[in-house]
Amino acid sequence: MSENPAPSVTMIAPELTFEELAENFGLFDDWEDRYRYLIDLGRKLPDFPEAFKTESYKVRGCMSQVWLVPGHPDGDPNRFAFAADSDAHIVKGLIAVLGSLYAGKTPEEIGGIDPEAAFRTLGLDQHLSPSRRNGLVSMVEKIRTFARAA
Q: Is residue 73 part of a domain?
A: yes
Question: What pLDDT was estimated at residue 35?
Answer: 92
Catalytic residue among 41, 62, 97, 122: 62
Q: For position 71, which CATH number holds?
A: 3.90.1010.10
Tell me the C-alpha distance between 29 and 11, whole Å.
32
**Which pLDDT band, with edges at 50, 70 and 90, does 130 fall under?**
confident
Please state the domain count of the chain.
1
Q: Is residue 51 part of a domain?
A: yes
Q: Is residue 3 part of a domain?
A: no
Q: Is residue 52 part of a domain?
A: yes
For residue range 25-80, list pLDDT tens digits in order: 999 988 899 999 999 999 999 999 999 999 999 999 888 999 999 999 887 899 99
> Which residues span the domain enclosing 145?
18-149
Q: Is residue 65 part of a domain?
A: yes
62 is catalytic: yes
Q: Is residue 1 part of a domain?
A: no
Q: Kindly state the helix (H) or strand (E) to which residue 17 belongs, with its residue range.
A: none
**27 with 122: CB under 8 angstroms?**
no
